[in-house]
Chain A
Amino acid sequence: MGPMFTRLGRLAMAVLIATLVAASLAGPPALGQSKAKVSFVYVGPIGDHGWSYQHHQGLLALQKEFGDRIETSFVENVPEGPDAERVIDQLAASGSNIIFTTSFGFMNPTVKVAARYPNVKFEHATGFKQAPNLATYNARFYEGRHVIGLIAGKMTKTNLVGYIGSFPIPEVVMGINSAYLAAKSVNPNVKFRVVWVSSWFDPGKETDAAKALVDQGADILMQHTDSPAPVKYAEDKGIFAFGQSSDMAQFGPNAQLTAIVDDWRPYYIRRVGALLDGTWKSGDVWDGIKQGTVALSPWSKKIPPDVVAMAGKARDAIAAGTLHPFTGPINKQDGTAWLKARETASDKDLLSMNFYVEGMEGALPK
């Protein structure tokens, strides 16, 4: 083991010297820093072609944008359980300047680690706890859900849309409600059926759920899980589906009508840029179609032109701020009033949504 130590030692020394030289050559900038180490924690594998894949696209975009000014590292497949805090802590201890933790279940671990490393910046996706060195960010996926809901309402022949849910948390529930309301607005007979798989990424369970829904007569699938398995299943069955998080057309060239694409690149570039400039501040960002964080992949040729026109119009209206997917009158599932006519839902209401809207069948798991 001796030579290995020396080799490592030499390597470490070389890196140290190189860093010192680089730092002294660059000179201290006015406010920010010349170099930064940027780290990411992913809940799934970077090859999930969904959620984690899209965040990793953000990391790759950062490398392209900032080149030698940043050094990046990531840990994939981190479960949202007892291991998460250790991984985040290890990234902080190994010299990261900013750490993006990209799943809801990383919230409390991130809060704890952020308290231990006040000089490191943290960004947590989809959570609600902030600190001076911990910002949160999320995307208005429900805006994209409105658009695919319209398409599904128009295109279903069996009037049954199958929906594969992960966990009944507000983000997922508001997506179901948004898609359902949009579908019902163009097709009063449409029904949604939801199957919960209790996982963000489990291709086997997602396929089972898809199969169960199709067996019950669903001819269009929507998903709030991260793998392309449901799209693939729809392709095999000759029915339609919507991609989730990233463009999944390669898994279902005939099945995918469009996909809700999470494009985190602009946000990450903005935040790391702010870190380098010394203008980084904590906060809470919830961007949507308008800012480009939520996008829709190219329409399938199978969508009739009039439906394409309608979907495009809705997308543009959301971007322009003239259309809110949750505009009253809307009742809750139990018939009680939620939004009055022309009233739009507040962000606070959306972020704590724990009910189905009127007309949805089934009960939310409690």
Chain B
Amino acid sequence: MPRLEARPQPSRLMFYATPLIAILFTLAAGGVLFALLKKPPLEALALIFIRPLTSVRGLAELTVKAAPLILIAIGLAAGFRAGVWNIGAEGQYTVGALAGGSLALAVYPVTGWWLLPLMSLAGIIGGAAWAAIPALLRSRFNANEILVSLMLNYVAVFLLGSLVHGPLRDPDGLNFPESRLFQTALPLIVPGTRAHVGFVVALIAALVAWVLMEWHLLGFQIKVLGQAPGAARFAGFSEPRLVWLCFLVSGGCAGLAGLFEATGPVGQLVPALPAGYGFTGIIVAFLGRLHPAGIVLAGLLMALTYIGGETAQISMSLPSAATAVFQGMFLFFLLASDLLVNYRVRWRSHTQPAPAGHTVPDMALPRSTSAQPSAQPGE
């Protein structure tokens, strides 16, 4: 029977190389998949990965799709490093959009230069407020924050649905469940395309996160809490304070992303506004190794697979399910290679037991230790 054994010293090089390895495996397996569907594999891969990068329009769309993913993942990564598992970004995104959007609708049709900053602020506060619920439940009552933050996603989506069916519904919209179009819109960064300032804000957020994590005491505290909660307590770092901070920051980022999505590409509140960004953001955070630069690249890559998947649908009638399978394979290969970086496979049945206290890699992955056993994923 093969068994897994923790590697005493996982390779740092491999840790960063696994996304590339996963990409190569995905390209190969994807090629086989497309060949089985009787589509020319090389052309299909070129359509997905290269065609969108060959036009200004494609690049602009890439930033539009990547902006919310990056912004959300940057916020989540801080918490994930500290072992604080906020799975509720989708709900925080939704409430952020609701808060900022309601503000615009409340003052409609009044508008001015001040409106967008105020809406953004409302979006951040809305998202942070929604994240404060699991923060309170975890820090005060030791509740499992994975569960409560996850469940609050559904509450938020239904809240949006009921509000656009009721008080926020467009009075001139023949009762369709949508708000009015907002009287203001996000500024565009490339005229003639849909690329908006949200992407610039996401990049700035990544830069700020990088500085904080690498150069500020806060980043150090977060990392220590994630990797050695006992040491963090011993050093006098307040765990509840860090839990609160991680939730408020990630909730605020998600809320701002939601507000940008509502004010930018969509232009109104619609029931389908939560399009899964909060969940994809989790994938982006881990794909980017919880590092700001990695997250920016990962966000762009995930966006590329969506846009490329559509290109392949349009140009070669590739079914949408095939592109979803393709994305799934990518994540599968990434997780599989992650596992093999941290563990090695032993084929003999009578090996020595794994060393008791194996070294955790220097970054918080989901299996890292945490102060609350109940707060670990997979339990």
- Chain A residues at the B interface, C-beta cutoff of 8 Å: 1, 4-5, 7-8, 11, 39, 45, 73-77, 79-83, 85-87, 89-91, 93-94, 104-105, 108, 112, 128, 167-170, 198, 351-354, 365-366
Q: Which residues of A contact B270 (CB under 8 A)?
A: 80-81, 105
CA A243 to CA B272, docked complex, whole Å: 26
Contact B174 A170 (CB under 8 A): yes
Minimal beta-carbon separation of B317 from chain A (angstroms): 7
Contact A77 B265 (CB under 8 A): no
Contact B165 A94 (CB under 8 A): no
Stretch from B235-243, B308-316, B361-369 contacting the other chain? B308-316
Q: A1-B50, A108-B181 are in contact. List 6 more A-B contacts (CB 8 A).
A: A81-B266, A93-B57, A94-B314, A112-B267, A169-B177, A170-B174
CA A11 to CA B165, docked complex, whole Å: 49
Contact B313 A86 (CB under 8 A): no
Task: Scan residues 308-331 of chain B and give those whose CB is less than 8 A from a CB of chain A.
Answer: 310-311, 313-315, 317, 319-321
Q: Which residues of B contact A1 (CB under 8 A)?
A: 50
Contact of B273 among A82, A86, A104, A108 (CB under 8 A): A82
CA A45 to CA B319, docked complex, whole Å: 9
CA A11 to CA B44, docked complex, whole Å: 13
CA A73 to CA B178, docked complex, whole Å: 29
Minimal beta-carbon separation of A91 from chain B (angstroms): 6
Residue-wise, chain B 337-378 has the 8 Å CB interface mask toward A (1 for contact) of: 000000000000000000000000000000000000000000
Centre residue among A74, A83, A105 by max chain B CB count within 10 A: A83
Task: Scan residues 53-70 of chain B and give those whose CB is less than 8 A from a CB of chain A.
Answer: 55, 57, 61, 64-65
Contact A89 B194 (CB under 8 A): yes
Contact B319 A76 (CB under 8 A): yes
Minimal beta-carbon separation of A11 from chain B (angstroms): 7
Ranked nearest first, the 8 interchain pairs of A and B with the lowest CB-CB distance are A81-B272, A81-B275, A77-B320, A354-B175, A80-B272, A366-B166, A352-B174, A73-B314
Contact A167 B166 (CB under 8 A): no
- Given A167-B177, A170-B174, decide whether A108 and B268 contact each other with a Cβ distance below 8 A: yes
- Given A81-B274, A86-B307, decide whether A11 and B43 contact each other with a Cβ distance below 8 A: yes
Contact B175 A352 (CB under 8 A): yes
Is B90 in the interface zone, CB < 8 Å from A?
no
Minimal beta-carbon separation of B101 from chain A (angstroms): 13
Contact B65 A76 (CB under 8 A): no
Contact B165 A90 (CB under 8 A): no
Minimal beta-carbon separation of B188 from chain A (angstroms): 12
**In this complex, what residue of B is CB-closest to A87?**
B310
- Given A8-B43, A73-B314, A90-B310, decide whether A198 and B265 contact each other with a Cβ distance below 8 A: no
Contact B265 A366 (CB under 8 A): no
Minimal beta-carbon separation of A15 from chain B (angstroms): 11
Contact A4 B42 (CB under 8 A): yes
Minimal beta-carbon separation of A93 from chain B (angstroms): 6
Contact B181 A86 (CB under 8 A): no
Q: Considering only CB atoms and an 8 Å cut-off, how many residues of chain B contact the other chain?
A: 44
**In this complex, what residue of A is CB-closest to B268?**
A108
Q: Which residues of A contact B311 (CB under 8 A)?
A: 90
Contact B175 A73 (CB under 8 A): no
If over half of B's interface residues share one DSSP class (helix, strand or loop), that class is named, otherwise mixed; here it is helix
Contact of B161 among A4, A128, A198 (CB under 8 A): A198
Minimal beta-carbon separation of A322 from chain B (angstroms): 28
- Given A7-B42, A81-B273, decide whether A104 and B65 contact each other with a Cβ distance below 8 A: no
Contact of B320 among A75, A167, A366 (CB under 8 A): A75
Contact B272 A90 (CB under 8 A): no
Centre residue among B176, B268, B311 by max chain A CB count within 10 A: B176
Is B142 in the interface zone, CB < 8 Å from A?
no
Q: Which residues of A contact B175 (CB under 8 A)?
A: 169-170, 352-354
Q: Which residues of B contact A86 (CB under 8 A)?
A: 61, 64-65, 194, 265, 307, 310
Query: Could you name 17 residue pairs across A and B whose Cβ atoms are closer than 8 Å?
Result: A4-B45, A5-B46, A73-B317, A76-B319, A76-B320, A80-B270, A80-B272, A81-B270, A81-B273, A81-B274, A85-B194, A85-B265, A86-B307, A87-B310, A89-B57, A93-B57, A198-B158
Contact B265 A82 (CB under 8 A): yes
Is B11 in the interface zone, CB < 8 Å from A?
no
**In this complex, what residue of B is CB-closest to A11?**
B43
Q: Which residues of B contact A75 (CB under 8 A)?
A: 310, 313-314, 320
Q: Which residues of A contact B265 (CB under 8 A)?
A: 82, 85-86
Is B162 in the interface zone, CB < 8 Å from A?
yes
Minimal beta-carbon separation of A208 from chain B (angstroms): 15
Q: Which residues of B contact A73 (CB under 8 A)?
A: 313-315, 317
Contact B165 A91 (CB under 8 A): no
Minimal beta-carbon separation of B212 from chain A (angstroms): 29
Q: Which residues of B contact A167 (CB under 8 A)?
A: 165, 177, 271
**In this complex, what residue of A is CB-closest to B320?**
A77
Residue-wise, chain B 246-261 has the 8 Å CB interface mask toward A (1 for contact) of: 0000000000000001
Residue-wise, chain B 272-293 has the 8 Å CB interface mask toward A (1 for contact) of: 1111000000000000000000
Q: Which residues of B contact A74 (CB under 8 A)?
A: 313-314, 317
Minimal beta-carbon separation of A318 from chain B (angstroms): 24
Contact B310 A365 (CB under 8 A): no
Q: Which residues of B contact A5 (CB under 8 A)?
A: 46, 50
**In this complex, what residue of A is CB-closest to B321?**
A45
Minimal beta-carbon separation of B100 from chain A (angstroms): 15
CA A198 to CA B61, docked complex, whole Å: 29
**In this complex, what residue of A is CB-closest to B45?**
A4
Q: Which residues of B contact A365 (CB under 8 A)?
A: 162, 165
Q: Which residues of A contact B317 (CB under 8 A)?
A: 73-74
Contact of A366 among B158, B165, B273 (CB under 8 A): B165
- Given A75-B310, A94-B315, decide whether A169 and B320 contact each other with a Cβ distance below 8 A: no
Contact A351 B174 (CB under 8 A): yes
CA A128 to CA B311, docked complex, whole Å: 29
Q: Which residues of A contact B320 (CB under 8 A)?
A: 45, 75-77
Contact B181 A91 (CB under 8 A): no
Contact B314 A82 (CB under 8 A): no
Q: Which residues of A contact B194 (CB under 8 A)?
A: 85-86, 89
CA A366 to CA B164, docked complex, whole Å: 9
Contact B313 A76 (CB under 8 A): yes
Minimal beta-carbon separation of A173 from chain B (angstroms): 8
CA A91 to CA B314, docked complex, whole Å: 7
Minimal beta-carbon separation of A126 from chain B (angstroms): 10
Minimal beta-carbon separation of B346 from chain A (angstroms): 39
CA A28 to CA B194, docked complex, whole Å: 35
